[in-house]
Amino acid sequence: MRVLVRTLMLLSVCVPLLAYDFKACEKRAELSMQRIGNTYGIAVQSTQYSKPVLFVYSPYATPRGYRILKHDPFLGMYLLETRRTLEPVEIKAIHSEMLEDEIASVNPQNSVSGKIVRRMQSPIDYAKLNTPTFKNSLMSTVCDSVYGIGIGKNSFIEKEYLERFLNSASVYYGDIGVRVIQNADNAVEVNVVDPFFKNNPFKFGDVIRSVNGAMTPNVPSFRHIVFDLKEGSVVPVEIVRNGAVMEVSVRVDKLRGGMLLKDDFLSRVHIDIDDNFVITRVGEGAQNGFERLKVGDKVLRINQRDVPQGYEAIIRLLGEYPDMRQRWLIARNNFQFFIDVNDNKAKFSGESFNEGLLNEDTRFSF
């Protein structure tokens, strides 16, 4: 008897416990998933609709053959009208004890399991598994416990962020007029200033320590806070500028570009440009000097400074005069002339007035 007990104890040490068989979950997934092209739609419940709808993550292609109920163009998420009766999945919140558990990415044909290596930190900073996930799959510990939706590579979306999309009346993300990076000191630093964001208080190189009273130790935390700010609200932002700690206030606007979309800062003033700063569109809403522009105009200088090549470099130059009147030197049909843009603003760049007016060769001027 003692020999048998020792043998069993030895086997329990030397032979690993059998992993959970997620193959059984593949059949269970068929009750809640529907084939859409080369991926799946997942039946979910939304407070916006009385019947279950299909969730599909498809960042680079529009799902075909189904009525689209909602689309988040920033992240590539869709809600579609389902064609048949499916059992909606209930997404549960991940708790800390689960981080050591095995969790699988499951669809009706495949399953693969691993462990969570990172929780989701913002709408675009996804949770991570230590193994690849299938796009539009159920993240399950056991067949009836779903903790997110896999989106491919090794990423998945957690409950909080799924419900933000499922239950909101519209697609919205907050914006405070800057884009940020994690700098060499591991701090959140402003590297793009939106030049036409109203009353933009930021400058290049500002380090953002907190937004609306919440600390921002890294870029994901910054996104998490800012994306959820209410449009029109005025929030305090603690920054470090040239070594000095100060607080500025900013009125929140809705995000108009970024993530999967082009960061289109010029949409605020209703114009489009190419990489050579040639005007490609002047919209009906253009005003405050921008309405004087015409398609084909080429901007040569801004406040006495030569225009660089490339959209990002142009935005960076414009961002040095945030929400200020600017003097643009324009070339049109062999004529060169100045126009002032943003000229309804109280703020006026001294460089724009002194250098632009006194030192330029104004061969033709409006």
Give 24-54 pLDDT, tens digit per residue: 889 889 999 999 999 999 999 999 999 999 9
Q: What is the CATH number of the domain that holds 159?
A: 2.40.10
Exposed/middle/buried for 195, CB within 10 Å: 0-12, 13-18, 19+? buried
Residues 250 and 283 in one domain: no
Q: What are the tokens at 240?
A: 């470090």
Residues 298 and 282 in one domain: yes
Residues 109 and 244 in one domain: no
Give 248-261 pLDDT, tens digit per residue: 999 999 999 999 99
**Number of structural domains, the chain?**
3
Task: With CA atoms as reference, report the closest residue to 319 among 270, 266, 260.
Answer: 266
Q: How much of the chain exceeds pLDDT 90, in percent?
A: 79
Residues 60 and 157 in one domain: yes
Give 163-191 pLDDT, tens digit per residue: 999 999 999 999 999 999 999 999 999 99
Instruction: Tell me the whole-structure pTM to 2 decimals.
Output: 0.84
CA dist 136 and 37 (Å) reads 12
Q: How open is the CA angle 346-280-265, to the nearest 5 degrees?
A: 45
Residues 56 and 28 in one domain: yes
199, 228, 254 - which closes a domain: 254
pLDDT band at 10 (very low <50, low <70, confident <90, very high): very low
124 in any annotated domain: yes
CA dist 150 and 106 (Å) reads 8
When mean pLDDT is compared across 17-21, 148-152, 204-208, 236-240, the lowest value belongs to 17-21
Residues 222 and 122 in one domain: no
Q: What are the tokens at 29?
A: 């997934």
Residues 180 and 312 in one domain: no
Q: What is the CATH number of the domain that holds 271?
A: 2.30.42.10
Q: How far is CA 191 from CA 145, 187, 210, 216, in A?
A: 42, 12, 17, 16
Which residue type is seen at 96? S
Residues 49 and 155 in one domain: yes
Residues 298 and 236 in one domain: no
Q: What are the tokens at 128?
A: 């991570």
Residues 230 and 287 in one domain: no
CA dist 320 and 316 (Å) reads 7
SS (HEC) of the chain: CHHHHHHHHHHHHHCCCCCCCCHHHHHHHCCCEEEECCEEEEEECCCCCCCCEEEEECCCCCCCCCCEEEEECCCCEEEECCCCCCCCCCECCCCHHHHHCCEEEECCCCEEEECEEECCCECCECEEECCCCCEEEEEEEECCEEEEEEEECCEEECHHHHHHHHHCCCCCCEECCEEEEECCCCCEEEEEECCCCCCCCCCCCCEEEEECCEECCCHHHHHHHHHCCCCCCEEEEEEEECCEEEEEEEECEECCCCCCCCCCHHHHHCEEECCCCEEEEECCCCCCCHHHCCCCCEEEEECCEECCCCHHHHHHHHCCCCCCEEEEEEEECCEEEEEEECCCCCCECHHHHHHHHHCCCCCCCC
Residues 237 and 310 in one domain: no
364 in any annotated domain: no
Query: 213: domain range?
Result: 174-254
pLDDT at 3 over 90: no
